Amino acid sequence: MPHTPDSGVVCINLLQDMTLSAANLSARQSLKSKLDLLGQTIKKVYPFGRLTREGQPKEYFAGLVLNKFYSFEISLENTLLHNDVFMSLYLYRYVYELHIKAQYIFSSALESECLKRLNEFFEGKDLTFRQYLEDTPSNAVSDKLKEQYISGHYKEVSRFVHPNYPSLKLSTERTDDQQFKFLAINIWLTIWHISEILRLFRALHLLNLDAKLSAGDINSLQEQ
């Protein structure tokens, strides 16, 4: 492979054909099937009509989130198709943070507090993630959600979404198989967070999701 004359850095052709092991090809097909299922599940939530922030703030928020999930399913498929590990990081991190904020907003037992939190969200008033977690009752935050933030995957991923040396090397010092394994974790976790947000909205009877989606629909998204 050619080298730049001044630095000796290997110039890698990022557009070369992807070569995956048989095991990873099989795992890739499983992920594709799961994304197809996600697409089918998301389509079940429609239609839900026109919503307004002033008239139906909780349903309006849920509608915004569901529309985002519709585009997420398309983005995840493209990410899988092109083995785009960087995009998988972005999608995972986005939906993880959305999950924490949704749990925080709807965890209050007081309707007035829930509406206050929604209004603060709409107005762009943000908290730190530690504040979101501390201000959400422990029974509303799963161990898996906490672990990813405190010492797990979210913490690992966050260092790659900023312009630094590790993120610049992310796509140049891994084989296709290594890229895929990292990407696959991000996609699985993204699907998990989406399914948990759907479970939350269903439990809250938002947009009639309790009638449109069964518990089995959501559980099937988490089966590997």
Tell me: the pLDDT tens digits for 19-41?
Answer: 889 999 999 999 999 999 999 99
pLDDT digit string, tens, across residues 123-168: 999 888 778 878 887 665 666 555 555 556 666 666 666 567 776 7
Q: What does the alpha-carbon distance between residue 140 and residue 81 come to, in Å, rounded to a whole number?
A: 35
Model pLDDT, residue 131: 83
Q: Indicate whether 115 belongs to any domain.
A: yes
Does 23 fall in a domain? Answer: no
pLDDT at 7 over 60: no
Q: Does residue 4 fall inside a structural domain?
A: no
pTM of the model: 0.83
Here the contacts of 204-211 (C-beta below 8 Å, separation 24 or greater) are: 204/58, 204/106, 206/58, 206/59, 206/62, 207/45, 207/48, 207/59, 207/62, 207/63, 207/66, 208/48, 209/45, 209/62
Per-residue pLDDT tens for 82-125?
A: 999 889 989 998 998 899 899 999 998 899 999 999 999 999 99
Domain range for 149 is 31-222
| Domain-located, residue 71 | yes
Q: Is residue 193 part of a domain?
A: yes
Average per-residue pLDDT in the chain?
84
How high is the pLDDT of residue 169? 73
Q: Looking at the domain assignment, is residue 22 inside a domain?
A: no
In-domain check, residue 121: yes
182 falls within a domain: yes
Convert the pLDDT of each residue in 181-213 to its tens digit.
Answer: 889 988 998 999 999 999 999 999 999 999 999
In the chain, the number of structural domains is 1
